[in-house]
Structure 1
Amino acid sequence: MLTGRGAIALVALIGLGCGAADEAADRGAAASYTDAVPSGAKAAPEDVFRTLEGGEASLRDLRGNVVVANLWGTWCLPCRDELPELVELARIYDDRPVVILGLAVDSGDIDEIRDFLEDFGVEYPNWMMGMDDAVATFGAVGFPTTVMVDAEGWIRKELLGPQTAAALTEEIEALLR
């Protein structure tokens, strides 16, 4: 259940739709980077998330893989429409150094999220986070939001709205080169 700032953020996100994506890009562009940083990239967050197995994990644990981190919610209709595309993507990249990762935002407890994912045939890993963390950590301005992280841990692209397996495959292949 959403309360306080999380509920206000959700109402604001529903009202705003997908309009503020450029603001997130501007925030990333304002940071200073060393010469080793790929053009337009920013470091993936070091935050620790709760896993559906009851443990903790971070994006750092996935280094060496391209990570497709999808921020979604059980309450988000476009997220539901996108899930079959992500299931297909996970199947396509099952034997490659690619991790499809769900980040369930304000979507209930572990059992509720597991049941929801089972109904959609989702077998790729999912971690949990709150709305405030989604906004603070990833600058999420709407859902679903997909964050493309390269094997070295650099966010290379942020995509707002539902994605297709075909479109994400193009993004992944570019990061695997």
Structure 2
Amino acid sequence: MLTGRGAVALLALSGLGCGTGGEVPDAAGGEAADRPRAATGSVAEVPSGAKRAPDDAFRTLEGGEASLHDLRGNVVIANLWGTWCLPCRDELPELVELARSYAGRPVIVLGLAVESGDPEEIRDFLADFGADYPNWMLGMDDAVATFEAVGFPTTLIVDPEGWIRKALLGPQTVESLGEEIEALLP
């Protein structure tokens, strides 16, 4: 019998919940140590329902490392996906269009490729869709433990201060993500 991460990973791989759309249940709040400190040393207000984006380093397709912390100052649409995930494939054209429509603005579409092969395989796969936005790689355990992914695709909406405002399960559209982005832009 599977328990813990193994059961969640199996659920994610089986595709349950994929394509249903909707928000992932929230484990928000974060620990006080994760919250920003105001100049006075007090804990600053956490946006309602938000959780601090992790500062973990992930491997880029170019062989370097990067973290969500590096992207602060931008609205980040972080999409956990896999080459093996059919709903993820259906969603890719929407993400490509979204990235192009926000080019030159403080918005970054970021792919987080989960268990999807080596960098060359991922680049080839993305090229078939014309996806030229940044993509990083992570394993299933990281997707589950770090981002609490329960299915794929999962899209995280991260505000410019580094707070995950929403986690959306299932394929998203340019329109639905555009509304989320516009709500966070000045």
**What is the match of residue 59 of structure 1?**
68
Using the TM superposition, give the Cα deviation of residue 16 of structure 1 relative to its aligned residue in structure 2, in angstroms.
Answer: 7.0
Whichever residue aligns with residue 13 of structure 1, its letter is: A
TM-score between the two structures when normalised by the length of structure 2: 0.84
**What is the match of residue 46 of structure 2?**
37
Deviations along 1:23-49, one digit per CA (max 9) or x if unpaired, are 741x22575564421111110001100
Whichever residue aligns with residue 28 of structure 1, its letter is: A
Using the TM superposition, give the Cα deviation of residue 167 of structure 1 relative to its aligned residue in structure 2, in angstroms.
Answer: 0.5
Deviations along 1:131-157, one digit per CA (max 9) or x if unpaired, are 000000000000000000000101111
Alignment RMSD (CA, Å):
2.3
| 1:28 counterpart SS class | coil
Structure 1 alignment gaps of length 5 or more: none
How far apart are the structure 1 equivalents of 2:45 and 2:30?
A: 17
Using the TM superposition, give the Cα deviation of residue 7 of structure 1 relative to its aligned residue in structure 2, in angstroms.
Answer: 7.6
- Of all paired residues, the percent bearing the same amino acid is 67
1:121 and 2:130 aligned: yes
Aligned residue among 133, 139, 153 for 1:130: 139
How far apart are the structure 1 equivalents of 2:162 and 2:29?
A: 17
**What is the match of residue 111 of structure 1?**
120
Aligned residues: 171
Aligned residue among 168, 174, 177 for 1:159: 168
Change in 2 beyond 3 A, CA 1:165/1:56: same
How far apart are the structure 1 equivalents of 2:11 and 2:49?
A: 28
Structure 2 alignment gaps of length 5 or more: 36-42
| 1:68 counterpart SS class | strand
**Contact 1:24–1:139 under 8 Å retained in 2:** no
**What is the match of residue 28 of structure 2?**
28
1:101 and 2:110 aligned: yes
* Bigger helix share: 1
